[in-house]
A and B are shown apart, each in its own frame.
Chain A
Amino acid sequence: MKWNLKDIISINDFSREDIECVLFNAKKMKSLSREKKSKILKNKVVASLFFEPSTRTRLSFETAIQNLGARVVGFADGGVSSQKKGETLSDSISTVENYVDGIVMRHPIEGAARRASEVSLVPIINGGDGANQHPTQTLLDLFTIKEEFNSIDGIKIALVGDLKYGRTVHSLALALNKFKKCKIFFVAPEQLKMPQEIMEKLTNVKVVETENLEEIVPKVDIIYSTRIQKERFPDEIEYNKVKDAYVITPNTIKDAKSSMRIMHPLPRVNELSQELDGTKHALYFKQAGNGIPVREALLKLLLEGKK
């Protein structure tokens, strides 16, 4: 399988073949022994530059780096970096690239990762640049779907909640558009519908837009739930109208197929009832766990064998 990418910046840079290559390598990572894995990036050093806070992404990247036998340097809060002193991102990256073999970064400014990849000679992996891209989340979502259903082609998925501002669902919808015969149900209140410019790009999938979650529950393989964020609403009355519209409880999914699975990028607030956690439908913690093999695969593809 041919791998073409030098950096991981945006899911839009990936062809279907690139995605398949990551998923194939992630699956291999799951089956490798700890000992074998720890030799893949032995003696390498990877920078973990988190200019804004993160829990899952940073911890899973740093775990993946260490699992592969590399060492991690970096920071978990932009307040301790030289950017606080006014240093430009370009200067920070030009400095750090001399110390390490690869850089994982999260930054609040959109386009920061793309800029870093232009400046840096070592590979850049984007762990999120503001509201723009978070490609490793999309890849772990796809890996989770593939693991659970053996194929991404033909999947029927409901994207539920804040579809207007949620970068996770934008990227996932665009990624599914690279596969065959997928069907996406967009379930959102009028105020939080999927933006038109994204809908226009979904030329290779069947799409259905609805506000009614319960009527489509029996039809889907996956419910991908997202949080509705209060700060997105102009006033509290509007927020209160929809805040509980898509709270998923065992009762919401009573008509679901037994193979139906629920995914969520986490963190959740109240949109997924804790009563679901012990059921066969709950896939979200396994999904979060898949961040490790996917990030290991990306690190291996970018850094293995490089001097």
Chain B
Amino acid sequence: MSNAMKEYDKEKDVVRLNPISNGTVIDHLPPATGPTIIRMLKLSCKEPIMMAVNIDSKKKGKKDLIFIEGKELNEKEVQKLGLIAQGSTWNIVKGKRVVSKNKIEMPKETTGIIVCSNPKCITNNETLETKFTIANNMGKCHYCEREMNMKDIIKSLE
């Protein structure tokens, strides 16, 4: 863990977690979704990452929390988060200050992130980005019209 993110408190004999300097905080995640999100975002672990799982939350009872130093999420990564953690937040931190606070919402459409579960779909047979429309907790492939439930969609992201 980076020195920027931890601090040893001698009196209490604990490691205190400090906010990151520049990067992203994904907060209010549903409990135990943190590890999936780390895998899903395919974080290289070159950047310092800190994750807290099942910690107390005033709003939700329990939550997960991820700090990523030196990284801002791109559009596809935000779409991925929307599929698994709608209602959570992603905040951009610059100079130790939160400069942007955003709610994670379920995307209505995704491009290039969900893998179609139909082996005969053209997206699994030619070099082509997938496109899905999302509604009622189901995703529909723009090309082969195969419908996938959220469980299968999330599995395809990992």
From 107 to 128 in chain B, residues with beta carbon under 8 angstroms from any chain A beta carbon are 118, 120-123, 125-128
Number of interface residues of B (CB under 8 A): 16
Measured in the bound complex, the distance between the Cα atoms of B143 and A10 in whole Å is: 10
Instruction: Flag A116-140 by CB within 8 Å of B: 1 or 0 each.
Output: 0000000000000111110000000
Measured in the bound complex, the distance between the Cα atoms of B121 and A130 in whole Å is: 9
Neighbouring A residues of B125 by C-beta, 8 Å:
109
B141 at interface (Cβ–Cβ under 8 A)? yes
Q: Is the CB of B126 within 8 A of A132?
A: no
A15 at interface (Cβ–Cβ under 8 A)? no
B145 at interface (Cβ–Cβ under 8 A)? yes
- For residue A221, give the distance in angstroms from its CB to the closest CB of chain B: 29
Q: Known contacts A89-B126, A90-B126; is A115 also within 8 Å of B143 by CB?
A: yes
Of the residues A10, A12, A111, contact of B122 by C-beta under 8 Å: A111
Q: Is the CB of A110 within 8 A of B147?
A: no
- Closest chain B residue to A195, Cβ basis: B147
Q: Is the CB of B145 within 8 A of A130?
A: no
Measured in the bound complex, the distance between the Cα atoms of B147 and A12 in whole Å is: 14
Neighbouring B residues of A90 by C-beta, 8 Å:
126, 128
Q: Is the CB of A112 within 8 A of B122?
A: yes
B6 at interface (Cβ–Cβ under 8 A)? no
B17 at interface (Cβ–Cβ under 8 A)? no
B51 at interface (Cβ–Cβ under 8 A)? no
Instruction: Flag A57-99 by CB within 8 Å of B: 1 or 0 each.
Output: 0000000000000000000000000000000111000000000
Q: Is the CB of A132 within 8 A of B144?
A: yes
- For residue A11, give the distance in angstroms from its CB to the closest CB of chain B: 10
Q: Known contacts A89-B126, A197-B147; is A110 also within 8 Å of B118 by CB?
A: yes
- For residue B140, give the distance in angstroms from its CB to the closest CB of chain A: 9
Measured in the bound complex, the distance between the Cα atoms of B143 and A115 in whole Å is: 7
Q: Is the CB of B126 within 8 A of A110?
A: no
Q: Is the CB of A115 within 8 A of B126?
A: yes
Instruction: Flag B79-116 by CB within 8 Å of A: 1 or 0 each.
Output: 00000000000000000000000000000000000000
Q: Known contacts A12-B145, A110-B143, A132-B145; is A115 also within 8 Å of B122 by CB?
A: yes
- Closest chain A residue to B130, Cβ basis: A111
Measured in the bound complex, the distance between the Cα atoms of B126 and A130 in whole Å is: 15
Neighbouring A residues of B121 by C-beta, 8 Å:
109-111
Most buried by B among A111, A115, A130, A132: A111
Q: Is the CB of B147 within 8 A of A114?
A: no
Q: Is the CB of B145 within 8 A of A10?
A: yes
Neighbouring B residues of A110 by C-beta, 8 Å:
118, 120-122, 143-146
Instruction: Flag A1-36 by CB within 8 Å of B: 1 or 0 each.
Output: 000000000101000000000000000000000000
B142 at interface (Cβ–Cβ under 8 A)? yes
- For residue B144, give the distance in angstroms from its CB to the closest CB of chain A: 4
Q: Is the CB of B147 within 8 A of A111?
A: no
- Closest chain B residue to A12, Cβ basis: B145
- For residue A237, give the distance in angstroms from its CB to the closest CB of chain B: 28
Neighbouring B residues of A129 by C-beta, 8 Å:
144
- Closest chain B residue to A129, Cβ basis: B144
Neighbouring A residues of B118 by C-beta, 8 Å:
110
- For residue A124, give the distance in angstroms from its CB to the closest CB of chain B: 13
Neighbouring A residues of B147 by C-beta, 8 Å:
197
User: Which residues of B come within 8 Å of A, CB atoms?
Assistant: 118, 120-123, 125-128, 141-147
**Pairs A–B under 8 Å by Cβ, sample size 5:** A89-B122, A109-B125, A109-B126, A129-B144, A133-B145
Sample of 17 further A-B pairs with CB below 8 A, known A109-B120, A114-B122, A133-B145: A12-B145, A89-B122, A109-B122, A110-B118, A110-B120, A110-B121, A110-B122, A110-B145, A111-B145, A114-B142, A115-B122, A115-B128, A129-B144, A130-B144, A131-B120, A132-B144, A197-B147
